[in-house]
Chain A
Amino acid sequence: MTTLFKFHGGVHPPTHKAESTRTPIARMPMPAKLVIPFHQHVGNIAKPLVQAGDHVLKGQLIGLPEDGISSAIHASTSGTITEIGMQVVAHASGLPDLCATLVPDGKDEWITRSGMDFRESKNADVRQVLRLAGVVGLGGAVFPSDLKLRPGKHKVNTLILNGAECEPYITCDDMLMRERADEIIKGAEIMRWALEADEILVGIEDNKPEAIAAMRLAAQASSDNISIVAVPTLYPGGGAKQLIRVLTGIEVAAGVRSTDKGVQCFNVATAQTIYRAVRFGEPLVSRIVTVTGNVSNAQNLEVLIGTPVSDVVAYAGVLPDTDSYIMGGPMMGLPLPAASVSIVKAANCIIASSPKLFPPAPPAMPCIRCTRCAEVCPAELQPQDLYWFAKAREFGKAQEFSLFDCIECGACSYVCPSHIPLVQYYRFAKSEIWARETEKTAADAARVRFEFREQRIEREKQEKAEKLAAREKAAAEAKLAAAKIASAPAATPVSAPVDETQAKIQAAIEHARQQAAAIKPKNTEQLTPQQQAEIADIEARRARIHELASTEAESPKE
């Protein structure tokens, strides 16, 4: 039996998981239209390979991974691409991003798929398969899985599968483990092989006995060293850092790679997807989504990537007083900008929200330094101090007090008796610091450019002065010589070089002007949708924090 460790703090919010685990995973019927964003992963947006009018097959590559951190995008079913354009996506900014609109032909016709035997393959080939299959972390982080399986400097001893699923309401991993445990275990074998890890630990919160039993049964069939470990139900015990701590006692600090400490952690659903991709050549075109909250039939659905959220909730019987939708859980989830946005790889759960289900928090009161937030903070921060610094815009102090170690789990906000939206303050402070750093980098570059220019001008001036002096000297000498000889006037030889210099200067100015014109748009106008989204994201956060500040009871009433 593995010895378990504890992490600091944590909270026990009501789990609300029973509602969506009453029925097996069902397949969502084919929607009339799919909207597939090209940016569903951490890193660079995939490069579109199709055009409007193209006919595609299910699993066909439509977005090619860019260099570096990126992943592939596929057609989720067979049909016709009707549009490549900007559409609102599931992002905090509410800004549009590049998407492909796909009208299914109803045949759901696959491309030719071919699986491989990973044991007979090279690590790099398996990783290439995963990259082109668009496999990313399905726990919500959507980091490209192939990059996490690249052998690094440090030996990875332990592969951890995260089946904790600590967020309330979400049950997609629970149901997946109950129904497809063998595929998860087979995926884990591939990952263990790629990482050359010694053991596999699967952490599952002890409120999922069925999943634990199913996984234990499946693990028996494996020749790998696999332990299925029941971990205490405590939010945010499913955070990668917290789960690593609980299972191994290792603390991975902010900014440190877990592989440096000999551990790598994947979500259970990612393991299953890896298995399907490697064994059958199936790219990631669907995922299990928990549909719950203000719906009559809360359940788990296998949903094609790109299915509009409105279709998914309608299938689950959304109730009439629903006023918004949350992607993810109630602790860390993202409020969706519109019901029209589509299910993406990160969408583990859709909660239909109503004012009755999630009533707005009472007006915030001042902080009374009760430190309940510090008692529950899994990162062992002093949230009350960070709040103070963020509010006072003392961003330097906030950084000194480890602001960037905050994982935004929301435990502090959850327990705050003053109902201060603490996490929002931290997000605000982080985005301000990022914005300032970007500005500073830009300013530094500009300063270097300016200094270089000044130097160049100074040098040129000097050179000119020297030339002039030399010329004057020459002229004086010539004059002297002329005077000595006392022959005809020498006007023409003097004017010729002047004209030549002037022409040169004119040409240089023209060149510089052209260069400036060519460079200019690069900075602000030709932003990628990603950059635009980031900027808008920061703006949205700022706007929200201002709104926040004005709704707080502490501020003057009108």
Chain B
Amino acid sequence: MSAFFSPFISKPDTVSAIMLKVLLALLPGIALYVWYFGPAILVSITLASLTALATEAAMLKLRKRPVAPFLKDNSALLTAWLLALSIPPLAPWWLIVVGTAFCIAVAKHLYGGLGNNPFNPAMVGYAVLIVSFPVQMTHWVTPLGMGATELSFVQQLQYIFSGILPGGLTLDAVTMATPLDTLKTQLHLAHPANEILTQPIFSSLAGHGSEVVAIGFLIGGLYLLASKIISWHLPVAFLGTLFLVAGIFHLADPSHYVAPVFHWFSGAAMLGAFFILTDPITSPTTHKGKFIFAAGAALLTYLIRVYGAFPDGIAFATLLMNICVPLIDAYTQPKVFGKKEKKA
């Protein structure tokens, strides 16, 4: 018996459908990922998805919550996909499994499950992995057609599940550092930025291949904006601030600081702007708050990228800004109807 009260009608929208749309929006980026880097990413997405669903079910059981409605809400899958897209696809299977299990069990359910986690679960997973397994986290698969040798899909699977590479090959031969990492290392070696960017792993916008994947995420993000799943405030404030900060540094010293467009299309900037920062549970609810949150995340991302120890800054920037969300919300409450002109 459900209680009967107004309103008696509601839109047929569901949490599950919203999450599904976000998953769909990731598809262009994933397709381009496969096109440029091979199908290994599909393996890690699958591993992450299975782990997420299993962990979700187990945690719901432990917490004595109904399993079916929450498994169907697609939120665990979204966390899994975002984590899989944030870590190297050519890595031992347990890396993504441990990371995903941590996301769901600790970052989500220990905080009270869907809707109650203060930190973006995928970013918590990423942070745990990069701190605990820095070596595995830095071997990124070389874009197809760029490396001396290329692994077949079977060979990739073999490596993921057994750690064995075909005779004579080392992991370094089939992987490389990310464009952001390469740039940082080379800058430390006092090479000027414009010289570094002429290396083959860089392309017109940012990193070869990865820049196109970023465009894929941008396209997915525009779909989310058009279908009103996310509001424009977060991505605009994030990309705007990143552009502004990077632009100021670049203008001041182009030999040390690359152009803002590079920052837009490298690393997880696009993924972050449209898919990570926009997680409604862990971001502010007010328009002004969203601006502050995303601008802060962009500033931190830039500082971590340029001055920090880690190659990309999205994860830590997001987590640091997640901490501020209650404070931001509290101080950005909009005035209610009829009470705007008062106290002038």
| A contact residues vs B (CB 8 Å cutoff) | 7-8, 13-14, 168, 241, 245, 251-254, 256, 324, 326, 328, 330-335, 353, 358, 360-363, 365-371, 374, 378-382, 384-385, 401-402, 405, 410, 413-419, 421, 423-424, 544, 547-548, 551, 553-554, 556-557
Contacts and interface: CB of A to CB of B under 8 A. Distances in A.
A380 B334 contact: yes
B285 A384 contact: yes
23 contacts: A245-B337, A253-B339, A330-B6, A333-B6, A333-B8, A353-B8, A358-B9, A360-B4, A363-B69, A365-B115, A366-B116, A368-B18, A369-B283, A380-B334, A380-B335, A380-B337, A405-B337, A405-B339, A410-B7, A415-B11, A416-B10, A418-B115, A424-B5
B9 A13 contact: yes
B145 interface: no
Contacts of B65: 553-554, 556-557
A385 B330 CA distance: 10
Contacts, number: 149
B192 interface: no
Given A379-B336, A553-B69, A554-B65, A330 B9 contact: yes
Contact of B338 (A241, A331, A544): A241
Contacts of A366: 113-116
Nearest to A329: B6
Interface in B74-91: 75
The 8 closest A-B pairs by CB, nearest first: A253-B338, A366-B115, A410-B7, A251-B338, A360-B2, A358-B8, A417-B13, A330-B8
A551 B3 contact: yes
B343 interface: no
A75 B115 CA distance: 56
A418 B66 CA distance: 15
A415 B338 contact: no
Nearest to B19: A368
Given A378-B337, A401-B333, A414-B11, A368 B281 contact: yes
Contacts of B70: 365, 553
B339 A362 contact: no
B22 to A, nearest CB: 11
B9 A331 contact: yes
B174 to A, nearest CB: 40
A270 to B, nearest CB: 23
With a 10 A CB-CB cut-off, give which of B5, B115, B334 has the most chain A CB atoms: B5
Given A362-B14, A385-B285, A405-B339, 11 more contacts: A251-B338, A335-B4, A361-B10, A363-B69, A366-B116, A370-B18, A380-B335, A402-B339, A417-B15, A417-B17, A553-B70
B286 interface: yes
B181 interface: no
B3 A548 contact: yes
Contacts of B285: 369, 371, 374, 382, 384-385
A272 B18 CA distance: 47
Contact of A365 (B2, B114, B231): B114
A379 B337 contact: yes
A414 B9 contact: yes
Contacts of B7: 330-332, 410, 413-414, 423
Nearest to A13: B9
Interface in B289-344: 329, 333-340
Contacts of B231: 371
Given A385-B285, A417-B14, A557-B65, A168 B3 contact: no
B152 to A, nearest CB: 42
B188 interface: no
Nearest to A547: B3
A325 B32 CA distance: 55
Contacts of A254: 336-338
B16 to A, nearest CB: 8
With a 10 A CB-CB cut-off, give which of B10, B70, B115, B335 has the most chain A CB atoms: B10
Contacts of B337: 7-8, 241, 245, 251, 253-254, 378-380, 405
A381 B336 contact: yes
Contacts of B11: 414-415, 417
Nearest to A12: B11
Interface in B194-253: 231
Given A251-B337, A251-B340, A334 B17 contact: no
A149 B339 CA distance: 26
A366 B4 CA distance: 20
Contacts of A381: 336
B4 A324 contact: yes
A551 B340 CA distance: 38
A297 to B, nearest CB: 21
A416 B9 CA distance: 11
Contacts of A14: 9
Interface residues of B, number: 41
Contacts of B338: 241, 251-254, 256, 405
Contacts of A382: 285-286, 333-334
A333 to B, nearest CB: 5
Contacts of A417: 11, 13-15, 17-18
A380 B116 CA distance: 24
Contacts of A334: 6
A369 B2 contact: no
B280 interface: yes
Contact of A556 (B14, B64, B334): B64
B114 A557 contact: no
A326 B8 contact: yes
A332 B7 CA distance: 6
A544 B4 CA distance: 9
Nearest to B13: A417
A328 B4 CA distance: 14
B270 to A, nearest CB: 22
B73 interface: yes
Contacts of A380: 334-337
A368 B280 contact: yes
Contacts of A544: 3, 5
A369 B5 CA distance: 23
Given A241-B338, A417-B17, A556-B65, A367 B115 contact: yes
A251 B4 CA distance: 33
Nearest to A335: B4
A428 to B, nearest CB: 11
A460 to B, nearest CB: 52
Contacts of B2: 360-361, 551
Contacts of B114: 365-366, 368
A401 B7 CA distance: 22
Interface in B264-278: none
Contacts of B3: 421, 424, 544, 547-548, 551
A330 B6 CA distance: 6
Nearest to A402: B336
With a 10 A CB-CB cut-off, give which of B73, B115, B285, B336 has the most chain A CB atoms: B336
A67 to B, nearest CB: 31
Given A254-B338, A371-B285, A402-B336, A331 B6 contact: yes
A358 B9 CA distance: 6
A326 B9 CA distance: 12
A557 B14 CA distance: 21
A254 B342 CA distance: 13
A384 B286 CA distance: 11
Given A251-B338, A361-B2, A551-B3, A418 B15 contact: yes
A371 B284 CA distance: 10
Contacts of B4: 324, 335, 360
A365 B65 CA distance: 12
A540 to B, nearest CB: 10
B331 to A, nearest CB: 13
B124 to A, nearest CB: 17
Nearest to A553: B69
Contacts of B66: 553, 557
A401 B336 CA distance: 9
A335 B5 contact: yes
